[in-house]
Structure 1
Amino acid sequence: MNRAVIVKAKRTPIGKMGGIFRDIQSHELAAPLLSHLANGLVQKIDDIILGNIVGPGGNISRIAALEAGFPHSVTGMTIDRQCSAGLEAIRMACYLVQGGAGHCYIAGGVESTSTSPFQSRAKFAPDKIGDPDMGVAAENVAEKYSISRVLQDEYALLSYKRSWDSYNKGFFKQEIIPVIDIHEDEAFFKKRNLEDLLPRAKPIFKKNGTITAANSCGIHDGASAVLIMEENIAVNNGLQPILRFMDSEVSGVHPNYPGEAPIPAILAILKRNNLSISEIDLFEINEAFSSKIVACSKELSIPYEKLNVCGGALTLGHPYGASGSMVITRLFHQVQRRKDLKYVLAAIGSGGGIGVAVLLEVVI
């Protein structure tokens, strides 16, 4: 079997809805990213796979490739698996390489909530099953797993401190390519006193609930993608493999509890590969809501010391279709700053009750 490896990974800065990228459409966000990843390799690209959730519809991947000036022979495919779309794109590209369908893919996701023409979200599930908004669903997860407001706020503060620490150390600079002369995430333009805000924040989805604006993510714009190649071809082209695709899993849970979806996906992938939680060196699980992360940590016994160690979406933001690729991009750069790492795992839960997990082996 061919082996799929990730040799490059980058993202754009992340902007707030109506913020720094308010006039930049999805394909315009993705195009500079594609150009950067394909530099010197455009003729070798078999396809581009991008996740996108809130539109404007059509094949954004193809439009972005054309915007980037790629040859007409480089096609493009756009997929929607809600918030897991960016991770699914990477998963799909890895399997295509393994199966010999191609040898070189760009995969990831892009989202422009600012320019989306859609005023409301798509359905996650039929009404007869229950189709709660993600905030309400996060409340459901908090209740099911007995995740208190205190535990959520504690995690939100930890993540916030980690994000700012990573920013101050220049870690995010390693991930980012500039777009229209913007070089950093909008979240870092001004520091909030989150320690003071957390106890004062009011529940926003349910009366007497635990989910607040301070312990959940915002709505954002951004793009992220990786370059995936067959390992021998990458090496023969002078590229250093960083992460090797090992396995992946998709799980389905009740649509009322999408935040728990990474749990069965992670359990299944570890069981199939005869691995334990203790053998995974780093976990990245998208931080849509604190309740989700605390529940996953609690149920899987993942210590915070291994989980989202550079912070995440609670501070930086959650550009839906791109977030699954951003957790892979974060791992890609983390493993190059660390030593003696063997396995890392990325996971995300999404609307409709779907969880995606990807297991990767550190090559360097």
Structure 2
Amino acid sequence: MKPDDIILAAPVRTPIGRFGGSLAEVPAPDLGGIALAESLKRAGVAPADVSEVIFGNARSAGVGPNPARQVAFKAGLPQEVPAWTVNQACGSGMRTIISGVQAVTLGDSRIVAAGGTESMSRVPYMLDAARWGKKMGHQPLIDGMYRDGFLCPLCGLIMGNTAENLADRYEISREEQDEYAAESQARAQAARNAQRFADEIVPVPVPGKRGGETLVSRDEHPRDGITAQGLSRLPPIFRKNGTVHAGNSSGITDGAAAVLIMSAATARELGVRPAARVVAYETAGVDPTVMGIGPVPAVRRLLARTGLTMADMDLVELNEAFAVQALACHRELGFDRERLNVNGGAIALGHPIGATGTRIVVTLLHEMARRGARRGLATLCVSGGMGLALLLEACREE
């Protein structure tokens, strides 16, 4: 490892709470603060040594100004440490890492705390006409989740309909999607039973019903015993006679994740143990009507830039916005599926939008360490038609 290599350290996340579940009353900045504080603790980095905080948050209505600044305060960072928030929809949490890498590479920052946080349970309903008054008649409530996420204003489609478009384009059947979704659940179940997520999770304290606190330490969205046959009974949601339904789509959830970014020289100076070095990153745009294919051009650009192939990737974390989306990307990229989302993906674990980009990196880093893997690829699609990709490599001394 060279002194100017950029490394990631102390990857950590909260458990992922189901929609309206145990974390429903915990604001997004609180979740982010818990993750960031734990990352600093694990790394042994003093809060005052952080140059800046960059955090993703994609459902910001009602969260308050600049959620990243709130996260920094919740984590105990001094007021002198600046913070800023990223909203690149599903890619927010990965974009914060990329931005942090750029800041350290340029010498603008020495240590960046990056991550993402989301409380989808707390997304509000809105009354558009209420501010200026309404003389008479009904005024509909606007679902902030629908307007700020599910509906793409660029193509006028619900995200699930863009997934149906992929099913049409790639001729991916309902059966294939359900089998993939069941596999995601089974892998997550195996990982949970083997306690493979334990090292990456920091418990979240929540008020108990009868006073005191309860520690939430396990992901709530995965369901044990899911089968493709069981999923086949669920009705399609987005299109009559369609293929996409609740069971083969990512879960609406709450959670946060964090990681520290610095040079290898800084890590050595402070005694911080690197988790991996950042090799390269890429982003790309695609047709919003098939937004889920976004990882494909992003990954292909990354491979062209590095001279590597998918065969060089030991592990791949590709966010499962939908089963059909993951299958379409896998079909285009062509690699061994045994290396894909080995502990399950967002269909099982959930997709807390602003946090997911960091969450998949956190999970990837821990699994790379567990297996002694050399290279890991994290990638995800982004609503509006984009893809991001990040290539990591285990640290080896030069």
TM range (shorter): over 0.9
Deviation at 1:67, TM superposition (A): 2.1
Deviation at 1:141, TM superposition (A): 1.2
Indicate whether 1:141 and 2:146 are aligned: no
Sort the Cα spacing of 1:52 and 1:336 in 2 relative to 1 into closer, same or farther, 3 A. Answer: same
Query: Is residue 49–residue 105 contact of structure 1 (8 Å, CA) maintained in 2?
Result: yes
Alignment correspondent of 2:299 = 266
Q: Secondary structure at the match of 1:242?
A: strand
Structure 2 counterparts to residues 56-205 of structure 1, below 5 A: 56-118=63-125, 119-120=143-144, 121-122=147-148, 130-180=155-205, 181-187=215-221, 191-205=224-238
Query: Is residue 30–residue 223 contact of structure 1 (8 Å, CA) maintained in 2?
Result: yes
Sort the Cα spacing of 1:165 and 1:36 in 2 relative to 1 into closer, same or farther, 3 A. Answer: same
Query: Is residue 10–residue 40 contact of structure 2 (8 Å, CA) maintained in 1?
Result: no
Structure 2 counterparts to residues 41-52 of structure 1, below 5 A: 41-52=46-57
Query: Is residue 217–residue 287 contact of structure 1 (8 Å, CA) maintained in 2?
Result: yes
Task: Give distance in 2, aligned partners of 1:316 and 1:156.
Answer: 11
AA of the residue aligned to 1:10: V
Task: Give distance in 2, aligned partners of 1:135 and 1:124.
Answer: 8
Task: Give distance in 2, aligned partners of 1:197 and 1:82.
Answer: 31
Alignment correspondent of 2:375 = 343
Indicate whether 1:304 and 2:306 are aligned: no
AA of the residue aligned to 1:187: H
Alignment correspondent of 1:12 = 14
Task: Give distance in 2, aligned partners of 1:123 and 1:220.
Answer: 13
Deviation at 1:41, TM superposition (A): 2.1
AA of the residue aligned to 2:347: L
AA of the residue aligned to 2:380: I
In our comparison, the structure showing a higher alpha carbon Rg is: 2
My pick for the range that moved more, 80-89 or 151-160, is 151-160
Query: Is residue 3–residue 245 contact of structure 1 (8 Å, CA) maintained in 2?
Result: yes
Indicate whether 1:284 and 2:289 are aligned: no
Alignment correspondent of 1:295 = 328
Deviation at 1:201, TM superposition (A): 1.1
Query: Is residue 197–residue 214 contact of structure 1 (8 Å, CA) maintained in 2?
Result: no
AA of the residue aligned to 1:150: E
Task: Give distance in 1, aligned partners of 2:292 and 2:64.
Answer: 26
- Report the TM-score when normalising by structure 2: 0.87
Task: Give distance in 1, aligned partners of 2:26 and 2:219.
Answer: 15
Q: What runs of 5+ residues in structure 2 fail to find an aligned partner?
A: 126-142, 206-214
Query: Is residue 2–residue 97 contact of structure 1 (8 Å, CA) maintained in 2?
Result: no
Structure 2 counterparts to residues 214-233 of structure 1, below 5 A: 214-233=247-266
Alignment correspondent of 2:271 = 238
Query: Is residue 152–residue 159 contact of structure 2 (8 Å, CA) maintained in 1?
Result: no
Q: Secondary structure at the match of 1:155?
A: helix
Q: For residues 293-342 of structure 1, give each alpha carbon's deviation from its aligned partner in whole angstroms, at most 9, with x where no partner exists.
A: 10011111022111111111111111000001011001110011112x22
Q: Secondary structure at the match of 1:349?
A: strand
Q: For residues 157-184 of structure 1, give each alpha carbon's deviation from its aligned partner in whole angstroms, at most 9, with x where no partner exists.
A: 1111100000011111111000011111
Q: For residues 189-212 of structure 1, give each alpha carbon's deviation from its aligned partner in whole angstroms, at most 9, with x where no partner exists.
A: x63543442111111111111101
Which residue among 354, 362, 366 is the counterpart of 1:329?
Answer: 362
My pick for the range that moved more, 160-169 or 1-10, is 1-10
Task: Give distance in 1, aligned partners of 2:82 and 2:315.
Answer: 34
Deviation at 1:228, TM superposition (A): 1.1
Q: For residues 47-76 of structure 1, give each alpha carbon's deviation from its aligned partner in whole angstroms, at most 9, with x where no partner exists.
A: 111110111252111012112222111121
Sort the Cα spacing of 1:126 and 1:159 in 2 relative to 1 into closer, same or farther, 3 A. Answer: closer
- Report the TM-score when normalising by structure 1: 0.95
My pick for the range that moved more, 252-261 or 194-203, is 194-203
Task: Give distance in 1, aligned partners of 2:377 and 2:226.
Answer: 31
Q: What runs of 5+ residues in structure 1 fail to find an aligned partner?
A: none
Alignment correspondent of 2:25 = 23
Query: Is residue 186–residue 225 contact of structure 2 (8 Å, CA) maintained in 1?
Result: no
Sort the Cα spacing of 1:225 and 1:209 in 2 relative to 1 into closer, same or farther, 3 A. Answer: same
AA of the residue aligned to 2:383: G
Query: Is residue 88–residue 95 contact of structure 2 (8 Å, CA) maintained in 1?
Result: yes
Deviation at 1:103, TM superposition (A): 1.5
Query: Is residue 150–residue 159 contact of structure 2 (8 Å, CA) maintained in 1?
Result: no
Q: Secondary structure at the match of 2:157?
A: coil
Aligned length: 361
